[in-house]
Amino acid sequence: MSAIDIACLDKSFGQTQVLHQVALSIGSGEFVSVLGPSGCGKTTLLRCIAGFERIDSGRISVDGHLVSSPDHHLPPEQRGIGVVFQNYALWPHMTVAQNVAYGLKIAGMPRREREARTAHALDLVELGGFAGRRPADLSGGQRQRVALARCLAMESRIVLLDEPLANLDVHLRGALEAEFANFHARSGATMFYITHDQAEALALADRVAVMDHGCIVQFDRPDALFRQPATETVAGFIGEGRVIEAEHIQPIGNGHASASLLGQSVRLRCAPDQRGQRSGKISFHPGDLELLAEDAAPGFDAHVTRATYRGAYLRAELMAGPSGSVPLSLNVAAPASLTPGQRVRVGLRDGWVIPVPAARAQF
Amino acid sequence: MQTKRPLRALRTFLRTQDERIVMLLLILFVGILSIAPLARLGYAALIPDGGFDAARILRTLAGGRVIDATLNTIWISVSATALATVIGTAAALLAGLTDMRARTLWVFGFVLPLMIPPQVTALAWLQAFSPASPLLGPLGLSLTPGTRHPLYSAGGIVFLLGLYNAPLVFLSVRASLYRLPAPLIEAARSAGARPLPVTRDIVLPLIRGGIFAGAALAFVSSIGNFGIQAMLGIPARVPTLITLIYRQMNSYGPSALNDMALLALLLAGLTVMGMAVTAWLGKRGDQRVDNSSRPPRLSLGAWRAPVTLLAWGYLALCLILPLTALLGSALVRGYGQPLNAETITFQNFANALFRHEGIRDAFLTSLWLTLAAVAVLIPVSVALGYVLSWRRGWLARGLMLASELAYALPGIIIGVAMILFFLRPLPLIGTGLYGTVWVILAAYLSNFLALTLRPILGGYAQIDRVLDEAAQLTGASLFARLRDIALPGLAPSVMASAVLVFMTAINEIQVSVLLVTSRAQTIGPMIIFLEEAGSSTLAAAVGCLMVALVLILMLASLIFGRRLPPGVLPWRD
């Protein structure tokens, strides 16, 4: 049985429709990320699940029980869903221990048990010595851990996280990503993690839902998002993907297809039900391109427009094609030198045929 | 060319020194109008004849009447503050946090009493039990002649002061509620807390600062509220410090000024003490300002209808009952007549508007005094706001403190201070200003500076300081920057400031009650004089006209004020 089931969810604020026909089915204990640019509706989706927003149509079920539909709305306090807010939402007038214990106190748990459970939760996030402090005296990372301890103490089976790392610096992010992974492993809770940072989403989640303009455009495993994007939007969004036009796409079986790209014949991956097309979009990443040493090898001619030093590698922006108008990006291992204007020959190691909507695999 | 040089030198001097000149003018303005009179008051109270006479001070303060009045002042103000705090906080929680029906209209009605002059409120409540009251009269609830009016008592004063000042607490608490970060409430709800525990455990502790700030305002307003204390306290023989000063002035005139100054100083001390206590009580609240979304509304559920009914019932009791009674009294020929087809007359309104010369003169005097005060205070506040917002420094803070003090201290203290300061002939003019309208204008400028300053400071907070600095780099003088950069952005706040001062000054009573003479009369104290002279129905008619004026101004500001930043007009939700 799935922990969260969302079907045909619509939500509007006034004239603006924020969510269009959102459907998601999240398994128990799964770690799901929702990834999308700001304003795509991902926070609204979280607030609908938590019960802070009513929905216009569709339904949300939690553990098989209906919690939201247009004429039924279970208030947030009766859903038993933990939420970690972007700004942590620690109550500034309470100590760390009081913050963690508040939900248990409201639930009417006896004092002794409450204190034990609070101390245990604080120990798990390694804040045992901070029980008597105020949130104002804690660092950003420590506040985040108190917010997590609050969910641990409540033993929430479902935890929603609203961009919990957005306000932290890069060093702390890495440490806290590990913290979330630990939390997930320890608690076995279903996690629903909102973010606009794809590195976070791909690193943490079992499955990632990519959102754009209020729709879920793809819901899949991280590697599938990267290697088999369902739409141009996903292909362009994930991993600096490049989408260009190819011709004479012909499936050759075994999940592969041949196509003509910039006048060269190339071999690409494709969906099992891919049909022959006169033209279509294909996607690949900078790492799929390689610099060729010999001019005779199969590949494209291009000229360098810009080369940027990125530490471990050199990033080159190229223009290819018969009229030099198709932009490409390429990573070259560090001890290399490319100068603008230089002519190079590049080969495509791997690519993916983006399915046309009719043939798109259902997720 | 030669003749132009001194001019050019002057112009260069003005250009380079413009900020210093403005600062100097501001210091002169606040110094002459606020600091010097208050210093003169302290001097007259403590060292009247050039020497500190502890025995005289003790003799004056230890008198039975003074001790009585002091104790009355303290317990009446404290009880009224408590009442106002409870009502105001409950109202703010209802309007700011729940899904009660028709909130916008209710907020307008709840804040309206604050804008009605207190002497009119007192008069309206006194009329509530008269036979002319269209609500209680027909029900037979009016008082039979000869019985003592229940409001003519210390309890009555507490009751009216509490109701009158509840909107002050309401506004302060509502402002804190709007600053309350929404996730703090949402986190509590997802932790399983229902609306009532959320309010008790999360909301109330977090808005504590706002509650006590409101309580401080209510205390200052209660202790200095001359209108209600005089209208109820003098007939009820419940002396308070403020009425004691007023009666001494009436009985002895300026000859008793040194004793009055001492009483005024005592009143000022109590006021400052009350403010300090409430500030201390509200200090420990750890409130963080957060510009995130407003807190979500908590559902009243099944209680929605009864709570809405109760809230509107409160408005009916506190607004409609007294105001209809006031109108009823204004529509009958003589006080005590029931209102019916035979007794109804518009004679009182006709008298108030056209026949009674004293009323007409007083109204015209008030009108031009108010307009003059607005015309002077707005530019001063824009300049002072500039210094306070973008220059700071201890000198600017000192000016702000002085203006705040002049505003917070009961108006009657400013009155005493102004008499003392302007009693003696001025050095250049040769005659004293005491007894002329100019003293009243000076008192208005002193008392209302902080009132104009506040919305304008709010306006400055919304303008990015970089805009001014960019203009400074182009070489624009301070005057040009104020006119071209600050003023366009400030325009809505300036409008709001002007409306607030106009509404406060046109009907005010506490500042001018000691300063009015037969030569210079304002409309505010007129009601007390008419009531004392036995013309209750005429007083009621004047009161009705004042309420109508206030209502028209409030509604007009709502219509024209759509561009105002939120929270500037207190009566707009």
pLDDT at A211: 93
The pLDDT score that the predictor gives to residue B567 is 62
From its phi and psi, is residue B117 left (phi > 0), alpha (psi between -120 and 50) or beta? beta
CA B549 to chain centre: 17
When CB atoms are compared, the residue of A76, A134, A154 closest to B189 is A76
3-state DSSP of B469-521:
HHHHHCCCCHHHHHHHHHHHHHHHHHHHHHHHHHHHHHHCCCCCCCCCCCCCC
- Residue A303: CB partners within 8 Å, gap ≥ 6? A318, A319, A324, A341, A342, A343, A344
Q: Per CATH, is A2-227 categorized as 3.40.50.300?
A: yes
How is residue A59 written in tokens? 């339904």
CA distance linking residue A54 with residue B93, whole number of Å:
23
Q: Chain B: nearest CA to A158, how far in angstroms?
A: 11
Comparing B16-62+349-524 with B78-345, is the CATH topology the same?
yes
User: Best interface-test mutation with A: which of B98, B189, B190, B202 has the largest number of A CBs within 10 A?
Assistant: B190
B297 touches chain A (CB under 8 A): no
Per-residue pLDDT averaged across A179-203, rounded?
88
Domains of chain B by residue range: 16-62+349-524, 78-345
What class has domain B16-62+349-524?
mainly alpha
Residue A304, amino acid? V
Over residues A118-160, the pLDDT tens digits come to: 999 898 888 889 999 988 888 888 888 898 888 888 888 899 9
Q: Which residues of A touch B188 (CB under 8 A)?
A: 91, 102
Residues from chain B contacting residue A161 (CB–CB below 8 Å) = none
- Contact in structure between A321 and A244 (CB atoms under 8 Å): no
Indicate the SS3 state at residue B460: helix
pLDDT (0 to 100) of residue B219: 93
A164 touches chain B (CB under 8 A): no
Between CA B552 and CA B556 the distance in angstroms is 6
> What is the ipTM, given to two decimal places?
0.74
What CA–CA distance (Å, rounded) separates B119 from B546?
11
Question: Which of A164-202 are b and which e, b meaning 16 or more Cβ less than 10 Å from the residue's Cβ?
Answer: bbeebeeebbeebbebbeebbeebebbbbbbbbebebbb
The Cα A246–Cα A226 span in angstroms is 19
Rounded-to-10 torsion of CA A340, A341, A343, A347: 50
Greatest alpha-carbon span in chain B: 89
| Domain residue ranges in chain A | 2-227, 241-354
Q: Verify whether the Cβ–Cβ distance B287 to A92 is below 8 Å.
A: yes
**Long-range contacts of residues B65-71, Cβ cutoff 8 Å, at least 24 apart:** B65/B239, B65/B244, B66/B241, B66/B244, B66/B263, B66/B266, B68/B239, B69/B239, B69/B240, B69/B241, B69/B243, B69/B244, B70/B241, B70/B266, B70/B270
For domain B78-345, give its CATH number from 1.10.10.60, 1.10.3720.10, 2.30.40.10, 2.70.98.90.
1.10.3720.10
> Residue A131 corresponds to which tokens in the numbers above?
């029980």
* Out of A87, A106, A136, closest to residue B191 by CB: A106
Average pLDDT, chain A: 87
Tell me how far apart the alpha carbons of residues A61 and A51 are, in angstroms, rounded to a whole number. 11
Q: What is the pLDDT of residue A215?
A: 92
Q: How far is B199 from chain A (nearest CA, A)?
A: 13
Q: State how far the Cα of A218 lies from the Cα of A355, in Å rounded to an integer.
A: 13
Tokens of residue A268, six digits: 């690409």
Roughly what angle, to the nearest 10 degrees, separates helices B64-97 and B257-282?
A: 40
- Nearest-by-Cβ selection for B206 from A52, A78, A93: A93
Angle separating helix axes B208-223 and B154-179, nearest 10 degrees: 150
Neighbours of A9 (CB within 10 A): 25
Backbone angles phi, psi at A73, to 5 degrees: -140, 110
CB-based contacts of A335, cutoff 8 Å, min separation 6: none
Strand order in the sheet with A215-220: A81-84, A158-162, A190-195, A31-35, A207-212, A215-220
Residue B559 Ramachandran class (φ > 0 left, ψ -120 to 50 alpha, else beta) = alpha
How does DSSP classify residue A310? Answer: -
Rg of chain A on CA atoms, in Å: 25
Residue pair B439/B517 in contact by the 8 Å Cβ criterion: no
Fold (CATH) for A241-354: OB fold (Dihydrolipoamide Acetyltransferase, E2P) (2.40.50)
pLDDT per residue, tens digit, chain B (573 aa), is 455 566 777 777 766 677 888 888 999 999 988 888 889 888 888 887 777 778 888 887 888 889 999 999 999 999 999 999 999 999 999 988 888 888 888 998 998 888 888 988 898 888 887 766 666 666 666 666 667 788 889 999 999 999 999 999 998 898 888 878 888 888 898 888 888 899 999 899 888 888 998 999 899 999 989 999 998 998 888 999 999 999 888 887 767 788 888 889 999 999 999 888 888 887 755 455 454 556 677 777 788 888 889 999 999 888 888 888 888 888 888 777 777 777 788 888 888 888 888 888 898 999 999 999 999 999 999 999 988 888 777 888 888 888 888 888 888 898 889 888 888 776 666 677 777 888 899 999 998 998 888 888 888 888 888 888 887 777 777 888 888 888 888 888 888 888 888 888 888 888 888 888 877 888 888 888 888 888 888 888 998 998 998 888 888 877 776 666 666 667 766
Over residues A295-305, the mean pLDDT reads: 81
Residue showing tokens 């304008």:
B456
Phi/psi of residue A245, each to 5°?
A: -85, 135
What count of Cα atoms within 13 Å lies in the side-chain half-sphere of residue A145? 22
Say whether residue B202 is in contact with chain A using an 8 A CB cutoff: yes
CA-based nearest residue in chain A for residue B204: A93
**Are B288 and A92 in contact (CB < 8 Å)?**
yes
Q: What angle do CA A139, A140, A142 make, to 5 degrees?
A: 65
For residue range A38-94, what is the model confidence (pLDDT) as tens digits?
888 999 999 999 988 899 999 999 998 999 999 998 888 888 888 888 888 888 888
Contact B202, B121 (CB under 8 A): no
Rounded to the nearest angstrom, the gap between the alpha carbon of residue B402 and the centroid of all alpha carbons in its chain is: 17
- Chain A residues whose CB is inside 8 A of the B286 CB are 92-93, 134, 136
Contact across the interface for A92 and B191, Cβ inside 8 Å: no
pLDDT of residue B344: 80
Contact call for A107 and B192, based on CB within 8 A: yes
